[in-house]
Amino acid sequence: MMTVKIHDTNSSQSASAQVIAKTAGHFNVTDKRGRVLTIKRPNLLKQFDLLEALGDLAENVTYRIYVTPIIYLTAIDGENIDPPLNRSEIKALIQRLDTDGFEALTAAIKEHFPTDTESRETKVKKLAELPA
């Protein structure tokens, strides 16, 4: 059973910092290892940048759907995370998150941005229904 603690802001933040973070759409989640992951809905440019970073792998819809959550990540333990610019940076970020971080990241996206998650899940289900 996976336990993920989702919270809107870091409890050490001042009240005004919490309001600013919430207004800006930043949310924190703590993974099993105790790392605090900060997420924000990516803008359209970040989505295009991910496609560019994926190169020919962007044509693989399943791969693209599974990799997309990493562009929501803006910080780990308060350290800003730049969006990956190429496949090796994508792999490095996934390796850094590992299973604990990736599970916490996807759970937080589902919690705070449910329409984004629903559209990804719908796409995956449709792909699974395609004849081989």
What domains sit in the chain, N to C, each tagged with a CATH number? 5-117 (3.30.2220)
pTM of the predicted protein model:
0.71
User: What are the pLDDT digits (tens) for 26-67?
Assistant: 899 999 999 999 999 999 999 899 999 999 998 888 888 889
Helix (H, G, I), strand (E, B) or coil at 65: helix
pLDDT at 117: 60
* Pick from 71, 1, 5, 2: nearest CA to 34: 5
Asked if 40 contacts 27 with a C-beta cutoff of 8 angstroms, the reply is yes
Asked if 81 contacts 93 with a C-beta cutoff of 8 angstroms, the reply is yes
Contacts of 126 (CB under 8 A, 6+ apart): none
How does DSSP classify residue 77? T
